[in-house]
Structure 1
Amino acid sequence: MKSIVSVSLSVLLLLTCSCRENSDPSQPLGSIQIDSVPLEGTVLFLGDSITHAGHYITDIEAVLRAGGDLETELINLGLPSETCTGLSEPDHPFPRPNVHDRIDSALEKVKPDLVFACYGMNDGIYHPFSRDRFAAYQQGIEAIIEKVNAAGAKLVLMTPPPFDPEPLRAKNKLLPAQTDQDFAWFQIYESYDTEVLAKYAEWILQQQGRSDIAGVIDLRSPVLEAVEEGRKADPDFTYSNDGVHLNAEGHEILSQAILAAFSKTPESPIDSEDRSRIAKKQQILHNAWLSHVGHTRPGVAPGLPLETARIAAQLVDSGENPQKLSNGVDLKNWEGDESIWTVEDGMIVGRNNEPVPSSTYLFTKKPYREFRLIFDVKQTVSPDHSTMHSAVAVLGERFTDKGDNDFGFKGPLLMFCHDWGIWDAYRRNRIEPAGQKGGLRIEAERKGDWNRCEVLLKGNRIRFVANGELVFDFTDDPEMLQKSPIGLQIHSNQRPQEYRFRGLILCENPGEELVTLGQQQ
């Protein structure tokens, strides 16, 4: 496979050189060298599910980092199913998202120096060629150009990669032009690539030389060349088992095309561990940016809050493995009283409207012993709500509490909001701060607003940070601590309470440093 990729890169470089000599935009032969803008600063990628997969962006970042560029930020805002036209085939399960519904928000929130846009695969909606659809595609691209320029950023247009009909032909999932069936992403026009995408790609390449774009990059030709080379040895060779979505090797060809356009080629093979680390960071930040910018596509799980995602990415760099404790959709992997605990707008919400006879908890199904836990919490503050604190239950044991509460807990409660410290439930009562009478208030608390908390448990040492300030550093008797589920608390109360939790990430076997200490929420 590597030899095929190398051949495709050689072809790409030849095409690039040819284009330097032949700058006539009506005769595009491939990508033209982009000298007017550097590949640096804040770089935004817009596109459909091919960009959403992110492999080619990971490859680019890996090359930049290996070359000593530690500053350039690559932001992946690719969205599955997206178009730049707003068109959808009749059998698509929902209206395809349109980049123009979110591009203004993306440009405002990202503030990019450079934007890459790759559309076309979905814009022909898998039908035979139509002048009206082609015109809609051209108008959609022109609108991207206008908006990116208005935002003060530079734009690189990229052709859509090719559609490979052969895997679907073998499965009898292609349709001829004359058919009674509806064309769709799952039954595609058999000449969609040569009669539709080829025209779209040709038009993109013809935009080279315009003063309102930085340049164009041909992603189509290198992939076609590599597939042709592969099929010399294996007639069934493909980079795309469904004809649309390129595999990792196909994405490598895309990344090489982009890097070559900026005269950036890897000096040596990328270390696989470095690439895996970058891929994990990219995935965390990609999901967070999608949620932060906003979109209309259903079925995309919410990402972490952006600042939490950035902390998680830093933890990946330090060798930790942050995991989301909540999927933002339901309470999978949690156990608790479903009359109290729900998921709303991607957040875990604990709320009681009836009296709570004994404190009740939403527990992780998995027990933990040494970990780093980072989360944001907000207490609803109003005349109708109790000011009673909440807590994270750790290193104790579940039991059935009074009122037939199957979700009770004995052991350390790390308290927050209105009262802070450690309460050892049903055992020693308050143990931190020792001798504290009444509730402990801290200046760092943001009452009625989001508070970022970090818990670090190493051995029998328990540390807690709130909004960048150390609340306590407590070393307990190891005999009092045991591996247990983690619980979020709604306290026993006669009055209503409401707590919201977001951005819960956990690292087992963490390092020694508090990563949020000194950071302002």
Structure 2
Amino acid sequence: MQHSLIRKRLISLFALFLLLQTATHDLRAQEAQQQAHKAPLAKLDLKSGDSIVFLGDSITHQCLYTQYVEDFFYTRYPKMRLKFHNSGVGGAKAWDALARFDRDVAAYKPKYVTVLLGMNDGQYQPFNEAIFQTYYKDMQELIAKIKEIGAQPILMTPTMFDARAARMGKRKRDPAAVELYNSVLAYYGTWLREVASESGFGFVDMYSPLNNITLTARQKDPSFTIIKDAIHPDPPGQVVMAYALLSDMNVQRQVSRINISQNAKGKPTASARGGKLSDLQYTDNGVSFTWLADSLPWVVPQEAQLGAELTKLGHRMSQESLSIHGLPPGRYELSIDGNVVGQYANTALARHIELQSNAKTPQYQQAMKVALLNKERNDGPVKNKRNSWRAFQQFARIKRELDAQGDQQDKTQVARLDRLEKQLENQEETIQESEAADLALEDQIFKVNQPVARKYVLKKVVVRKQK
């Protein structure tokens, strides 16, 4: 009896031991799995000479959100010269990007490749599983090719399909597609979020900011849209996209912060970030100093200004903050390099004023020259190069169709393929000429975008008594 009891206890202890071993093994396996999880890309790590490729469809081919992102880097990092390449083609799907990948992406040796595809892949109809599976397969292959060349993919959700703009337009569309296509794009984007999160890629939510801003604006104006044709964001909408990309990649948001005051002995003191302050003087009626900033404010051309207002772009991504304490009560006139830029109460100056969106400041005007030069660059040589890829896309699609036909090839399509092939004989020459013109304009940009020392003078406004 006693022997049987001991035997039962030994069996129980052995079972407990096995249970603990299994639990420990499972815990270790779980810990190993957790350690294997990758963190999504949190920020861009860039230095002079690095290359960024913007891969996409017609929304990238517009050369707008890409242009505004370039404007940011030209003004925020004027000492760092990056290489930008727009790789968008109107009408492109993920397969089309694969077809031109070697010459239009890999050849530029990118460190990062942003990918904005999906708008055309969904084929403008309610969700279709077979269509999604084609997109799924081609995107997986495209991501693999980006990784193979040593680049980091930055996956971006498809942008918004504006159903209300589609209903207001004259083009006849399938009502079911109009109602449901924005939801289809949301589905595609949610899958991309999962891929980026699990694989450690960069991820940018282009979809939500466009939808949220539109919904908010329609509370005041039901007809509001920043996507007039329902598909291609207008310049303000493209600013929203540029803001989303830079915000999600956590770039440096502030241009400068200057804080001026007097210490207990009445001597002027200053703390500053984003540049070098010198020659600080307090006078009986104001303050003066010299400021050499490290960067310029991020500004966009006039046609895109609404986008800057909708995103509060200046305050959130380009703040030039100035605060001055200890001034006697009254209003003060601020001039920079002899140009009056505004009047401010001493209380407002003590809190802080923001100058980044003040078009009267010389630094804003300098940044606008950069933006207009880059607009010329994108409207000219960059877009010219992108247009040259339209024929290639048609060629690649027809060739795929003919290859699938085997010996029974459509003669009309064969003739069309021959014409496109002849048209493409000069494509490389067009690319090289466009890139030479592109580089010449960028050289001009890097002459204009260098910050210079500015003289700030703040004087108390004398109020004349009326007789």
Name which of 277, 283, 296 aligns with 2:373: 277
Name the CA distance, whole Å, in 1 between partners of 2:390 and 2:224: 38
**Which residue of structure 2 lines up, in the alignment, with residue 393 of structure 1?**
none
Q: Is the aligned partner of 1:168 residue 2:166?
A: yes
Look up the SS of the partner of 2:123 in the other structure. coil
Q: Deviation at 1:214?
A: 2.5
Gaps of 5+ in 2: 1-33, 256-296, 300-366, 396-419, 446-467
Give 1:291 deviation, angstroms.
Answer: 4.1
Residue 138 of structure 2 aligns to a residue in which SS?
helix
Name the SS of the counterpart of 2:211 in structure 1.
Answer: helix
Query: Which residue type is aligned with residue 208 of structure 1?
Result: A
Map of 1:136-285 to 2, 5 A cutoff? Answer: 136-171=134-169, 173-177=172-176, 188-194=177-183, 196-211=184-199, 213-264=200-251, 265=253, 267=255, 268-270=297-299, 271-283=367-379, 284-285=381-382
User: Which deviations, in whole Å up to 9, do the C-alpha atoms of 1:24-45 show, x marking residues without a partner?
Assistant: 9xxxxxx976237448711111
Give the conservation status (yes or no) of the 8 Å contact 1:155–1:215: yes
Secondary structure at 2:120's aligned position in 1? coil
| Partner residue, 1:427 | none
- Is the Cα contact below 8 Å between 1:285 and 1:309 reproduced in 2? yes
Give 1:261 shift.
Answer: 2.0
Is 1:288 paired with 2:350?
no
Correspondent of 1:72 among 82, 86, 93: 82
Task: Kindly state the Cα deviation for residue 138 of structure 1 after the two structures are TM-superposed.
Answer: 1.1
TM-score under structure 2 length normalisation: 0.52
Offset at residue 114 of structure 1 (A): 1.0
99, 103, 109: which one aligns with 2:101: 103
**What SS does the corresponding residue of 1:124 show, helix, strand or coil?**
coil
Give 2:42's match in structure 1, choosing from 34, 37, 52: 34
Distance in 2 between the 1:68 and 1:210 partners? 31
Higher relative contact order (CA 8 A, sep 6+): 2
Distance in 1 of aligned mates of 2:63 and 2:47? 17
Per-residue CA deviations over 1:436-480 (Å, capped at 9, x if unaligned) read xxxxxxxxxxxxxxxxxxxxxxxxxxxxxxxxxxxxxxxxxxxxx
**Conserved 8 A contact 1:156-1:214:** yes
**Cα gap change, 1:155/1:232 in structure 2, threshold over 3 Å: closer, same or farther?**
same
- Superposition deviation, residue 71 in structure 1: 1.1
Query: The residue matched to 1:112 in structure 2 has which SS?
Result: coil
- 2 CA distance for matches of 1:155 and 1:33? 9
Is the CA contact (8 Å cut-off) linking 1:42 and 1:73 kept in structure 2?
Answer: yes
1:228 CA displacement = 1.1
- Secondary structure at the residue paired with 1:207? helix
Alpha carbons 1:109, 1:293 under 8 Å: kept: no
For residues 379-433 of structure 1, the C-alpha deviation after alignment (integer angstroms, 9 at most, x for no partner) is xxxxxxxxxxxxxxxxxxxxxxxxxxxxxxxxxxxxxxxxxxxxxxxxxxxxxxx
Q: CA deviation at 1:153?
A: 1.1
1:118 paired with 2:116, answer: yes
**Residue segments in structure 1 that go unaligned for 5+ positions in a row:** 1-23, 25-30, 86-97, 178-187, 321-521
Count of residues paired in the alignment: 267
> Conserved in 1, the CA contact under 8 Å of 2:111 and 2:151?
yes
2:54 match: 45
Task: Report which of the two structures shows the higher radius of gyration computed on alpha carbons.
Answer: 2
1:206 and 1:82 map into 2 onto residues whose CA distance is: 23
Which residue of structure 2 lines up, in the alignment, with residue 432 of structure 1? Answer: none
CA distance in 2, matches of 1:205, 1:48: 19
Q: Secondary structure at the match of 1:232?
A: coil
> Normalising by structure 1, what TM-score?
0.47
Partner of 2:196, secondary structure, is coil
CA gap of 1:243–1:76, structure 2 versus 1, over 3 A, is same
Deviations 1:10-65 (A, max 9, x none): xxxxxxxxxxxxxx9xxxxxx97623744871111110100000111111111111
Which digits, 9 at most, give the CA deviation of each residue in 1:299-320, with x for residues without a partner?
9996963443343234435769
1:311 aligned to which of 404, 419, 436: 436
- 8 Å contact kept, 1:207–1:216: no
Verify the 8 A CA contact 2:56 2:89 in the aligned structure 1.
yes
Aligned with 1:81 (options 91, 95, 101): 91
* Closer, same or farther: CA 262–171 of 1 in aligned 2, 3 Å: closer
Shift of 1:202: 1.0
Contact (CA 8 Å) 2:40, 2:201: kept in 1 or not? no
Please say if residues 102 and 294 of structure 1, whose CA atoms lie closer than 8 Å, have aligned partners that are also in contact: no
Report if the CA contact (8 A) 1:285-1:306 is conserved: no
Letter in 1 for 2:229: D
Residues 208 and 215, structure 1, Cα contact 8 Å, conserved in 2: yes
Q: Could you tell me how far 1:198 is from its partner in structure 2?
A: 1.2
* 2:196 maps to amino acid: Q
Identity %: 25
Specify the SS of the correspondent of 1:43: strand
Over 3 Å counting, the alpha-carbon distance change for 1:287 and 1:34 in structure 2 is farther
Question: For residues 233 and 308 of structure 1, what CA distance do their matches in structure 2 show?
Answer: 48
What residue number does 1:57 align with? Answer: 66
Q: Give how far 1:272 is off.
A: 2.9
1:84-124 deviation digits (Å, cap 9, x = unpaired): 15xxxxxxxxxxxx222111332332221111111111111
Q: Deviations over 1:151-176 (max 9, x none)?
A: 11111100001100112212363323
Counterpart contact for 1:83–1:99, Cα < 8 Å? yes
More helix by share: 2
- In 1, Cα distance between equivalents of 2:75 and 2:123: 39
Quote the Cα distance in structure 2 between the aligned partners of 1:208 and 1:83.
19
Q: In structure 1, what is the Cα distance between the partners aligned to 2:47 and 2:387?
A: 22
- The verdict on how the C-alpha distance between 1:122 and 1:296 changes in structure 2, with shifts beyond 3 A counting, is same
Relative distance call for 1:274 and 1:36 in structure 2 (3 A) is closer
Task: Give the letter aligned to residue 67 of structure 2.
Answer: T
User: Do the aligned partners of residues 120 and 316 (structure 1) sit closer, same or farther apart at CA in structure 2, a change above 3 Å counting?
Assistant: same
Q: Is the 8 A contact 1:164 1:243 kept in 2?
A: yes
Could you report, residue by residue, the CA deviation over 1:330-388 in whole angstroms, capped at 9, with x for unpaired residues?
A: xxxxxxxxxxxxxxxxxxxxxxxxxxxxxxxxxxxxxxxxxxxxxxxxxxxxxxxxxxx
Letter in 1 for 2:247: A
